[in-house]
Amino acid sequence: MLQKGSIIRVMGVFFQEPTKRHYLLEISKKAKLAHTSTKKNLLKLKKLSIIKEDLEIRGQRKFPIYQANTQHKNYQDYKKIYQLIKQTES
């Protein structure tokens, strides 16, 4: 089970905008976390198949871009849990 804290804030970005592709710094700003802890959380979410990572090439540079993996069962299950957490907090 995921611990409440920074990883929930990162997950929230993907649950609120599931079809949008996000850059690391954008996720970091929306989650209000340092990019280093955001990156660690993204790796955990990738292992759980909640998100997927692609590379966007601009000139000579490669930028990782993240998107929700809405078709995976883990994504759907954790989104339900996230909604329950948000509902109890309000």
CA distances from 24 to 10, 53, 76, 84, 88 (A): 10, 11, 22, 26, 29
Give the pLDDT of the chain (90 residues) as one tens digit per residue: 444 588 989 999 999 999 999 999 999 999 999 999 999 999 999 998 899 999 999 899 999 999 999 999 989 999 998 899 888 888
CB count in 10 Å sphere of residue 70: 15
pTM for the full predicted model: 0.84
Domain 6-89 has CATH 1.10.10.10: yes
Provide the pLDDT for residue 4.
58
Provide the pLDDT for residue 82.
87
Q: Where are the domains of the chain?
A: 6-89
Could you tell me which of 54, 63, 66, 53 has the C-alpha nearest to residue 20? 66
